[in-house]
Each structure stands twice: as C-alpha cells, then as structure tokens.
Amino acid sequence: MKFTLMLNGEQRDFDCEPTRRLLDLLRGDAGLTGVKEGCGQGECGACSILLGDRLVNSCMVAVGQVADRPITTIEGYSRTTRFAVLRDAFGKAGAVQCGFCTPGMIMACEALLRQNNRPRAPEIRLALAGNLCRCTGYNMIVDAVETAAREGKGLW
C-alpha cells in the first residue's frame, strides 16, 4: 500500500504493508536511525517518537495506523531550540552514558514538557517511567529535565 506520512515536518511517500512496524519503516525506509530498538515489545522506550503530541513506542504501532498524524523523531526534534536546551542540560547533568536510550528519553522529555513546563521531580519520574536506562540510575536524567525546564523558560 502507498502511504504519505508527515515525518519531521516533511511529506514523504512510502510503499509498504500497512502492518509494517512503524519502527522498521523509520529506521529502514526513512533512514531515521536515531530511533532505536531495544526490545521490540513496547517495554524499553528506546524507539519513542511523538505522534502528534503523544509519546508512543514506534515498535508497537503499525504504519497503517499513523498516516493521518504528524510524526516527530529525534532527527526532526534535534533541529529545534528546545532540543538544544535539553541536550545541554543532559550533557551537564551526566544524563548520557551509553546514549542508546537517550534519543527516546529526550522525546519523552519533550512530550512531558509540552504538557507541563515546570514539572516537579515525581512528575518527571512518572513521565520517564516507560523509558528504560540501564546506565545512569535515572536521577541525573531527572536533574537534566528540571534544569532544561528552568533554562528553557518560555520555550515550552
């Protein structure tokens, strides 16, 4: 089937089965390898993207389900000022170790900050609960989000 997807603000055409995992289309057909596969079962969040304003695991979504909603991956998001604020905060806080979870984690931060631009630590923990990180122990990531919300005042 032919699909036209709004990917990172651009219209792009794809020809694939409607049941193809969105993750495979993004990494394979679209070349957006910032979207990572950690489990393929919706448990780890490494493949997190934004569908509209909503954070989803792209391994759990079929291409046929998403044709009408804009998709943002880390590749699109990393062109924004908001990203730069989060990136700097992650860098300073020590929130990046191996970095495999980081793109998905940052998408989860963006989804949170869109809804709540001054989140408290428990709210951040809840918002990131679907994104597993085995390296950092999370607290530095929570610090980074608090810093980003403060430094990026007015951006969200």
Partner 1 sequence: MKVVGKNVIKIDAFKLARGEPVFTDDFTRQGMLYAKVLRSPHPHARILNVDAAAALKLDGVVDVIWHRDVKAIPHTRAGQSYPEPSPYDTLILSPKARFIGDRVAVVVAESVAQAIAALDHIVVDYEELPALTDMDQSLTNSEILIHEEPDPRGISEAGMTNIAARIDKQVGDVEAALKECDLVVTRDYHLPRVQASHIEPHISIAWVDEDDRLIVRTSTQVPFHLRRMLARILEIPEARIRVIKPRVGGGFGDKQELVVEDLVGVLALRTGRPVRLEFTREEEFVAARYRHPQRVTMTTGVMKDGTIVANRMYVLADTGAYGSHALTVQGNTGQKVLPMYPVANIHFKMDCVYTNNPISGAFRGYGAPQGCFALECHMDEVARELGMDRLELRKKNHIKLGDTDPLSAKLGEGKEGLVRVVKSTGLEKAIELGCEAIGWGNKREPSAAHLKRGLGMALAMQGSGIAGVDWGGATVKLNDDGSVNLSVGATDIGQGSDTVLAQMCAEELGIPYEKVIILSSDTDLTPFDVGAYASSTTYISGGAVVKAAAEVRGQLAGVLGSHWECEPEDIVFSDGMVTGPGDQSMTIAEVALFALYKAMIQPMATASHMSNDSPPPFAAQFAEVEVDTETGQVHLCRFVSAVDCGTVIHPKMVEGQIEGAVAQGMGYALFEEVLLDRTGRVLTPDFLDYKIASSLDVPEMVTILVPTDEPTGPYGAKAAGEVPIDGPAPAIVNAICDAVGVRMFRIPATAERVWRGLKEETR
Contacts with partner 1 by CB under 8 A lie at 32-41, 43-44, 46, 73-75, 78, 83, 86-87, 90-94, 96-103, 106, 124-126, 128-142
Backbone angles phi, psi at 82, to 5 degrees: -60, -40
The nearer residue to partner 1, 65 or 97, going by C-beta atoms, is: 97
Of 77, 145, 81, 94, the C-alpha closest to 117 is: 145
Q: How far is the CB of 120 from partner 1 (least distance, A)?
A: 13
The nearer residue to partner 1, 12 or 88, going by C-beta atoms, is: 88
Q: How far is the CB of 133 from partner 1 (least distance, A)?
A: 7
| Cα-only R_g, the chain | 15
Residue 144: how many other CB atoms lie within 10 Å: 26
Q: How far is the CB of 152 from partner 1 (least distance, A)?
A: 15
The nearer residue to partner 1, 5 or 95, going by C-beta atoms, is: 95
The nearer residue to partner 1, 4 or 88, going by C-beta atoms, is: 88
CA separation for the pair 75, 69 (Å, rounded): 17
Q: How far is the CB of 37 from partner 1 (least distance, A)?
A: 8
Question: Do residues 124 and 115 make contact, with C-beta atoms less than 8 angstroms apart?
Answer: no
Burial string for 97-124 (b: 16+ CB within 10 Å, else e) reads eeebbbbbbbbbbbbbbeeeeebeeeeb
Q: How far is the CB of 96 from partner 1 (least distance, A)?
A: 4
The nearer residue to partner 1, 4 or 91, going by C-beta atoms, is: 91
